[in-house]
Amino acid sequence: MTQIMTADALKLEQEASSIRERYARRGDEKGVFLPHRLATFLEMQSAMMRMLTRNLKVPIGEARILDIGSGYGVNLLQFLLWGADAGNLVGNDLLADRQDYSHTNLPAATMLVAGDAHPLDLEPGVAVWRHVLS
């Protein structure tokens, strides 16, 4: 059975494919404490803190947070260190192997969803942290 894709669906699939290719070129570096990644990691922490300070209407322990592009779960761990409840965290990554790795390092209460973020059904009031690929 042949499936015909709409122009929008084709564009989304092409973007997902492009993201997979960029990740493949980067290699499989899981650590943030690599000299060339540490400055970027610290800048991202600062941006996350600013986003949370500006947008959260509840204490972080009550916030529901979706991390799109959660990779190996580093930012989800950071949210936990800042006081987020593991049961209120959801990580999404296009690459299933990154989600598999995250499962080994995050509390079982943290929900991890592999695949494209576009079709995710977001509830109102969820704080979304979206990674920007360079």
Instruction: Flag whether pLDDT at 108 surpasses 90.
Output: yes
Q: Can you tell me the mean pLDDT for 28-40?
A: 68
Does any domain span residue 12?
no
Domain count, the chain: 1
Instruction: Flag whether pLDDT at 1 surpasses 50.
Output: no
Does any domain span residue 25?
no
Euclidean distance between CA atoms 11 and 128, whole angstroms: 23
Cβ–Cβ under 8 Å, residues 38 and 32: yes
Does any domain span residue 62?
yes
Q: Can you tell me the mean pLDDT for 124-134?
A: 54
| pTM > 0.85: yes or no | no
Range among 29-33, 115-119, 123-127 rated most confident? 115-119
Euclidean distance between CA atoms 9 and 73, whole angstroms: 28
Cβ–Cβ under 8 Å, residues 93 and 70: yes
Question: Which CATH number belongs to the domain containing residue 106 in this structure?
Answer: 3.40.50.150
User: Between 42 and 10, whose confidence is greater?
Assistant: 42
Q: Average pLDDT of the chain?
A: 80
Show the domain range for 72.
Answer: 37-130
Per-residue confidence (pLDDT) for residue 127, from 0 to 100: 59
Residue 54, both tokens: 């500006």
Instruction: Flag whether pLDDT at 134 surpasses 80.
Output: no
Does any domain span residue 30?
no
- Tens digits of residue pLDDT in 58-86: 999 999 888 988 888 988 999 999 999 99
